């Protein structure tokens, strides 16, 4: 940290040295390779210190993604999407909280009932319009549109990525080598087993946001939000450890699938900060 946090005059700056093999990604206005990245942190040391640590961690992550083959433009675009989504979620959470703070339970129940009635009226209106259009076509002697045939599923090559159980074995080994308590390891083992019994021992690359969401919804019917989130944490860790046949980008996408699915119940801040 001491080498990254630099004071110049009355302001503090974060300096992050760029690894030599990656400097071709960071060019100055003259087109020359930069040796370091500088970011202003303001005059307050108590604010600058944690900011500097966060920025160093961020750039170390960027360097790792560049080494794995991603481009700097793709990384920036991905980070911007995540930032916009986070801001949208925060705005939505604030709106929901404002509604809860400024309305009584009876008011909220009345609003929900009103929305249900409006939705029902809208659905009935659409169905009525569809019936009228069909009757108009029949009067003109025009046959209604044929039903759409189901699409023929494409043949997909078998996935070469680890299955949920194979990745879980690697996770258990890592946890035990790190000296984690046996109860912690057994908890992860139990939750992975529940996923496999529900969804099958499928390859990690086959897990989608829909699968993650449906699984958490299914177990959430009889479990608390805290336990539901623990299942999401276990599966995110299960995906984070293996790297065979999965690119870092695929691993992040799969991990985010569980994070987003868990957020349908309650924000899972504890999970996204887990490090092994």
Environment class of 135 (CB within 10 Å of its CB; exposed 0-12, middle 13-18, buried 19+): exposed
Q: Which two tokens stand for residue 50?
A: 């944690």
Residue-level pLDDT at 200 = 82
Residue-level pLDDT at 255 = 56
Contact 198, 218 (CB under 8 A): yes
Q: Where are the domains of the chain?
A: 5-70, 164-272
- List all residues 6 or more positions away from 193 whose beta carbon is below 8 Å from its beta carbon: none
Low-confidence stretches of the chain (pLDDT beneath 50):
147-149, 151-157, 241-246, 262, 264-276
CA distances from 231 to 105, 165, 246, 252 (A): 31, 15, 22, 17
From CA 168, how far away is CA 142, in angstroms rounded?
58
pLDDT digits (tens, 9 = 90+) for 33-43: 999 999 999 99
Residue-level pLDDT at 242 = 45
- List all residues 6 or more positions away from 225 whose beta carbon is below 8 Å from its beta carbon: 265, 266
Environment class of 93 (CB within 10 Å of its CB; exposed 0-12, middle 13-18, buried 19+): exposed
Residue-level pLDDT at 111 = 81
Residue-level pLDDT at 112 = 84
Residue-level pLDDT at 26 = 92
What is the chain's mean pLDDT, rounded?
A: 75
42 forms beta bridges with 12
- The string of DSSP letters for 192-233 reads HHHHHHHH-S-BGGG--HHHHHHHHHHHHTTS-HHHHHHHHH
Residue-level pLDDT at 254 = 56
Q: Which two tokens stand for residue 203?
A: 């390859």
pLDDT digits (tens, 9 = 90+) for 148-161: 445 444 444 455 56
Task: Tokens 């991905």: give the residue.
Answer: 78
Residue-level pLDDT at 261 = 52
Statement: the pTM of the whole predicted model exceeds 0.75 = no
Contact 25, 66 (CB under 8 A): yes
From CA 251, how far away is CA 238, in angstroms rounded?
10
Task: Tokens 């504890």: give the residue.
Answer: 270
Contact 261, 212 (CB under 8 A): yes
pLDDT digits (tens, 9 = 90+) for 77-129: 988 888 888 888 888 888 888 888 888 888 888 888 888 888 888 888 888 88
């Amino acid at each position: 940290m001491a080498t990254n946090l630099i004071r110049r005059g009355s302001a503090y700056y974060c300096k992050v040295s760029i690894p030599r093999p990656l400097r071709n990604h960071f060019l100055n206005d003259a087109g020359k390779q930069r040796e370091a990245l500088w970011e202003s942190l303001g005059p307050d040391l108590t604010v600058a210190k944690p900011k500097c640590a966060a920025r160093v961690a961020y750039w170390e992550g960027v360097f790792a993604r560049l080494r794995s083959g991603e481009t700097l433009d793709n990384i920036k675009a991905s980070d911007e999407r995540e930032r916009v989504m986070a801001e949208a979620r925060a705005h939505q959470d604030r709106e929901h909280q404002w509604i809860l703070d400024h309305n009584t339970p009876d008011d909220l129940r009345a609003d929900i009932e009103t929305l249900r009635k409006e939705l029902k009226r809208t659905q009935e209106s659409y169905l009525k319009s569809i019936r009228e259009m069909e009757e108009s076509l029949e009067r003109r002697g025009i046959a209604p549109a044929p039903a759409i045939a189901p699409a023929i599923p494409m043949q997909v090559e078998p996935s070469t990525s680890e299955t949920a159980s194979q990745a879980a074995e690697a996770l258990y080994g890592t946890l035990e080598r790190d000296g984690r308590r046996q109860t912690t390891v057994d908890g992860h083992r139990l939750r992975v087993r529940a996923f496999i019994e529900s969804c099958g021992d499928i390859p990690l690359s086959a897990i989608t946001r829909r699968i993650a969401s449906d699984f958490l919804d299914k177990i959430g019917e009889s479990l608390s939000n805290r336990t539901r989130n623990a299942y999401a944490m276990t599966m995110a860790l299960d995906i984070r450890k293996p790297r065979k046949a999965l690119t870092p980008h695929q691993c992040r996408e799969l991990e985010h699938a569980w994070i987003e699915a868990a957020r349908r119940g309650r924000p899972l801040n504890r999970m996204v900060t887990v490090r092994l």
